[in-house]
Amino acid sequence: MTSKDVSPGLWLIGIGPGDLDHITERAKSIARGCSKRYLEGYTAVLPSDQEERLEEVVGTWKRLMRPSVESPKSLLDEAREEAVALLVVGDPMQATTHIDLEARCMEEGVGFEVVPGMSATALAVSLSGLQSYKFGRQVTLPYPYGEYLATSPLEMIETNRSSGLHTLVLLDLDPTGMGFDLPTPMRPEQAVSILDRMAERVNEERDISNPTTVREWDGILLSDVGTSRQRVSSGSLNDVSKLEGGYVHTLIIPSNMSDNEKDAFRRRNMS
């Protein structure tokens, strides 16, 4: 497909998680046919070895960080005149930021198309061995900012657990919260430590004398999903927090597991 075959507008193109071998032929073809290609670099991260491959897969590209995506005047001005690809790791419509882009394009009369990609979240659920219909609300675990520590992520996990639902926990990529710098994925020990601190604060507020610590909860750590380095390990949160290696991590906190799910959990025990 050439630039003459791709109509002007903003094309949100999912490139799949981790390994560029997951990108669809349609996504590659349309990306190559666009006049310009940008890699959205802050809602998700592409491993460095795959970034090095990206040009040979889709053509030359530039990186866009949060300010250029959330204040997209220049991006939309280009998309009025030519086909512009915004390459998104995973599936492009998983982030609120990209839904907002769709709204901006509709408001300003700029063409907008989505080319779906394999979702890292769906892949994580599949790899966990847990039943997808038993997952509750998805949670993002942010880095603390200064003295501020939100407890709402822990409260959402507790709500899921009390309803017998598993929780997919996405770990923050940006310690600054600004979206200017290249991602710094949260490590497992950081994630569990932050949950631990949240629990301490919630327990103090509720005046619970003998609370169960989050480190005793079951957990599944998924590392570098969609790459050749992919690893899925289960155990207590305290155990999985000690695992080293890997780059991008996701946590799953199971609730009431069926017998089949318990068997799957054991098969992944610290593997």
Per-domain boundaries in the chain:
9-118, 121-267
Amino acid of residue 64: L
Amino acid 208: pLDDT: 67
Helices (H), 82-227: 96-108, 120-128, 152-162, 188-206
Instruction: Find the helix or strand (DSSP H, E) in which 167 lies.
Output: strand 167-171
Residues with pLDDT less than 70, the chain: 1-4, 178-179, 208-210, 212, 271
Q: Check: CATH 3.40.50.150 for 9-118?
A: no
**CA angle 104-110-111, nearest 5°?**
115
Amino acid 3: pLDDT: 54
Question: Which letter does DSSP use for residue 78 in this model?
Answer: H
Read off the pLDDT of residues 195-218 as tens digits, 9 standing for 90 and up. Answer: 999 998 888 877 766 676 899 999
Q: Evaluate whether 9-118 and 121-267 have a shared fold.
A: no
Strand bridging mode 249-253 / 167-171: antiparallel
CA neighbor of 168 nearest in space, from 249, 99, 229, 231: 249
Q: Write the burial class of residue 25 (CB in 10 Å: 0-12 exposed, 13-18 middle, 19+ buried).
A: exposed
Name the pTM for this structure. 0.89
Amino acid 209: pLDDT: 64
Amino acid 193: pLDDT: 96
Q: Distance between alpha carbon 156 and the CA centroid of its chain, in Å?
A: 18
Residues composing the chain: 271
Amino acid 2: pLDDT: 56
Q: What's the rounded Cα separation, in Å, for the pair 12 and 31?
A: 9
Q: Say which CATH topology domain 121-267 has.
A: 3.30.950
